Structure 1
């Protein structure tokens, strides 16, 4: 049984050891069937450094993220509650694949840090240690035309794969998750 969590984060900067998460979104799929879609907007870790440039990319302000209903711990608790519906974290054979776009170098370290910031050193009780990365899959598929692409961002890759992209919604974590999932299915030729 393949369990895949297509996910994306919006953060207060680019360094997982000093910045924090303010949006955690995902689509959980089991054997190709969507089981859950979630979009947790939360106040970041109170100790997180906030980079105005990162907030600008996500089209939010400090005032907006500081007024989210959930604090970091509440966001963590909601995420754990969702995961525990689909995974027995004590069963070494029952895990979820994380899947994102450039997640292995960015989102995965932030997610692991998020667990640690909430006093949990066992994030990999839920997830396989080897993630799926749509950026890597797309690199293989598009290697012959890479030089003709303006960049290799999620939006460019999705459009190249024939997926319609609403540029006004980019960098909203849930919208980016939807693009990532559609791109994954195109690349893996899943109907």
Structure 2
């Protein structure tokens, strides 16, 4: 089984208007971590940049505009994926894995492919993804009413996973927390 754990930091909340400035993750094949990545990227030309989104990630507009150009980072990302998946083999793909990725990150990643002129997103990834937030729900259902929210940091703490609050919203740190939640929840089943 090929899993691509990933998390994004973006310039806003709408994939059709905003862009990606950080893409981090881990490639896990049959339970073994093959490669971690942490890519900083200039948002696509024309992306709206919301100051509130940058504040959440702790970056400035000057910082993200100094990141490597989108196409350069995209090519690096595709070269990395190519080491593990044959995009021409219809039965060889990654499952996208993230925290609340089905409603957010997946759409941004797909849009990023489009901004790079690639309409073959489905050659790399299965259409059905693994959302760790959804997986954690039955695990914590009996405690949910006592939890202040169901954000990733809160869920991790409820599962006994150590969290450094000041590190949250860095994509690389967030994906490590996501993977820890995934491992804990999957161990139950």
Q: TM-score, normalised by structure 2?
A: 0.98
Q: Please report how far the alpha carbon of residue 46 of structure 1 lies from its aligned counterpart in structure 2 after TM superposition.
A: 1.6
Query: Counterpart in 2 of 1:167?
Result: 165
Q: TM-score, normalised by structure 1?
A: 0.97
Measured after TM superposition, the shift of residue 150 of structure 1 is: 0.7
Aligned to 2:186: 188
Instruction: Output one character per residue of 1:91-135: Cα deviation in whole Å (capped at 9) or x when no partner.
Output: 011000100000000000000000000000111100111000000
Match of 1:103 in 2: 101
Q: Indicate whether 1:89 and 2:87 are aligned.
A: yes
Q: What's the Cα RMSD here?
A: 0.8
Structure 2 counterparts to residues 28-177 of structure 1, below 5 A: 28-68=27-67, 70-177=68-175
Structure 1 unaligned blocks of 5 or more: none
Say which SS state the counterpart of residue 117 (structure 2) adopts: coil
Say whether residues 1:179 and 2:177 are aligned partners.
Answer: yes
Shift in Å, 1:29: 0.4
Shift of 1:140: 1.4
The alpha-carbon deviation at position 168 of structure 1 amounts to 1.2
Aligned with 1:99: secondary structure?
strand
Helix, strand or coil at the partner of 2:119: coil
SS at match of 2:39: strand
Q: How many angstroms apart in 2 are the aligned matches of 1:147 and 1:57?
A: 26
Please give the alpha-carbon distance, in whole angstroms, between the structure 2 residues aligned to 1:161 and 1:6. Answer: 19
Which runs of structure 1 show a deviation greater than 4 angstroms over 4 or more consecutive aligned residues?
Answer: none
Q: Please give the alpha-carbon distance, in whole angstroms, between the structure 2 residues aligned to 1:165 and 1:176.
A: 10
Per-residue deviation, residues 4-31 of structure 1 (Å, max 9, x unmatched): 1110000000000010000000100001
Structure 1 residue 26 and structure 2 residue 25: aligned?
Answer: yes
